[in-house]
Chain A
Amino acid sequence: MAVSSSLIKGLKCRECGRAFPAQAIYVCDYCFGSLEVDYDYDRIKGQVSRETIAARAHSIWRYREFLPIDGEPTVGFDTGMTPLLRARNLGEALGLKELYVKDDSVCHPTLSFKDRVVSVALSRAKELGFDTASCASTGNLANAVSALSARAGMKRVIFIPADLEMGKVVNSLVFAPTLVAVEGNYDEVNRLCAEIGARHKWAFVNINIRPYYAEGSKTYGFEVAEQLGWRAPKHIVVPAASGSLLVKIWKGFKEFHAMGLIPKPETRMYAAQAAGCGPIVEAVEQGSDIIKPVKPKTIAKSLAIGNPADGYYAADAIRETGGWGAAVTDDEIVEGIKLLAATEGVFTETAGGVTVAAARKLAAAGRLPKNESVVICITGQGLKTQEAVMHRIGKPIKIKPTLKAFEEAMERSAS
């Protein structure tokens, strides 16, 4: 596809509406608002239908027209189309009759939804001529950039806070990036990367490539809608760090409707955050116009962003749709992980524990109605954050290799 047939018109400031070219920029130099991709929807409308999408390969690129690249995708052909489980057991536990779990704990290749955004970011970064991929990350993004840039043949320099879980460190290092562990929290790593980005011509997927990268999150919502039989759910509970995923899922539903692919979405959006880092939920609960930054303190490190870049937009989407939010404690997070595992056989990371626990709270408070469709967004894999549950899930029963020892052990464990 030639550049002239691109479906991207350019970038646009989300605050003041000023237009910019579709380059590696992310902030409006007039009002400092963030930039978003502006599409040519009239042309998209003539090109997509349920049939054309359904006939394509099972990856995020089946939604190609809604993703911000000029030519053909080059990264992420095996990413996306993760299962949407009908979660009857968990539904029973939470008192919800039509509950689904969208399970990105098995997303290819690094087991989190970040594989989606990075596939889009690197495809765009290559079009813009970059040879080095970079990011500031709480872990999952580091894994996704490391793996996908390895396969894409790009150089990679990854920045993480120094106190990350070992699983997330190993899952980056194995792909041989330059891995920089910064002594500070994510917000500090991020600020440093913004400064480094001014000196080095690298594709920081979550900074100068962010307008393109963030669009990849829409595919999570597109898949939910397609997998529900081309309709949006009535309720969706989304983990929130920067708040971008929540915003983009909602945007995806609205785009699908505008292009005639699904009926008008009546979805309510709900944010799930940790009590030790819940600036978006706090703003929603207090009806505040201000997102007050916090200094994060939670075991859910992948959600530990105290100054959320999309906080305002997430709070706006929640208000616009009549949704709500819930913040949960570290204990509730661990119980959430265990509940999902025991009921649905899915092992999620701490962020997933936050989402399950938040859904539990919202259901108990009557915010999630019993008889309407509810989707819980699971975005990451439990094997990466084993530290969080290791001491809360019991131990194996050790025995000698004899029948007697086994039967005795069974008696002991029954009593």
Chain B
Amino acid sequence: MAVMVRIPTPLQKLTGEKAEVQSDGKTVGEVIADLERQFPGIQDRLCDAQGKLRRFVNVYVNEEDIRFLKQEGTELKNGDELSIIPAIAGGA
């Protein structure tokens, strides 16, 4: 599935300063693997040593947090938009 991924500022050094990139995959996990092929090093920033998304990395598929969906197993369709958003601070 061809999808569009929004890249947060701290990771744009890896994507040649591009804020939006095209990727491909049936699930969020596959898209992350594809991003790693295109932009080596990005997976290490997004995922921990076990290959799971770091707990302060928020991923949204069409504005919906994937923790409300099927996490990395969330299925994608053509034209979906993914946002990667670093930790949201706030509150006390």
Contact = CB atoms under 8 A, between A and B. Distances in A.
A309 B91 CA distance: 7
A190 B91 CA distance: 9
A159 B16 CA distance: 34
A26 B68 CA distance: 26
Contact of B91 (A32, A241, A292, A312): A241
B67 A242 contact: no
Given A15-B56, A29-B10, A309-B91, 16 more contacts: A27-B87, A32-B10, A33-B87, A186-B90, A190-B89, A190-B91, A206-B91, A207-B89, A210-B89, A213-B92, A244-B92, A245-B92, A305-B90, A305-B91, A307-B88, A309-B87
A117 B54 contact: no
Contacts of A206: 89-92
Interface string A243-258: 1110000000000000
Contacts of B55: 15, 290-291, 312
B45 A30 contact: yes
Main secondary structure of the interface of B (DSSP, over half): loop
Interface string A225-245: 000000000000000011111
Residue among B45, B54, B56, B68 facing the most chain A CB atoms (10 A cut-off): B56
Contacts of B65: 293, 307
Nearest to A113: B92
A393 B89 CA distance: 37
A114 interface: yes
A186 B10 CA distance: 24
Q: Summarize A's interface: helix, strand, loop or mixed.
A: loop
B56 A114 contact: no
Contacts, number: 86
B19 interface: no
A151 interface: no
A258 B72 CA distance: 41
B1 interface: no
A67 interface: no
B57 interface: yes
B86 interface: yes
A306 to B, nearest CB: 9
17 contacts: A27-B56, A27-B89, A31-B56, A32-B56, A34-B56, A34-B89, A193-B90, A207-B90, A210-B89, A214-B92, A242-B91, A243-B91, A291-B55, A292-B68, A305-B90, A308-B91, A309-B90
Which 3 pairs of residues, A with B, have the shortest CB-CB distance? A242-B91, A190-B90, A32-B86
Contact of A136 (B57, B87, B90): B90
A113 B92 CA distance: 10
Interface of A: 15, 26-27, 29-34, 113-114, 117, 136, 138, 141, 186-187, 190-191, 193-194, 198, 206-207, 210, 213-214, 217, 241-245, 290-293, 305, 307-310, 312
Contacts of A30: 45
Interface string B47-91: 000000011111000000101100000000000000001111111
Nearest to B58: A307
Contacts of A310: 91
A292 B90 contact: no
Contacts of A217: 92
Contacts of B67: 290, 292-293
A33 B92 contact: no
A116 B91 CA distance: 13
Contacts of A138: 91
A280 B85 CA distance: 21
A117 B85 CA distance: 26
A241 B87 CA distance: 16
A349 to B, nearest CB: 15
A29 B11 CA distance: 9
B46 to A, nearest CB: 9
A243 B90 CA distance: 10
A187 B91 CA distance: 10
A194 B88 contact: yes
B67 to A, nearest CB: 5
Interface in B24-39: none
B12 to A, nearest CB: 11
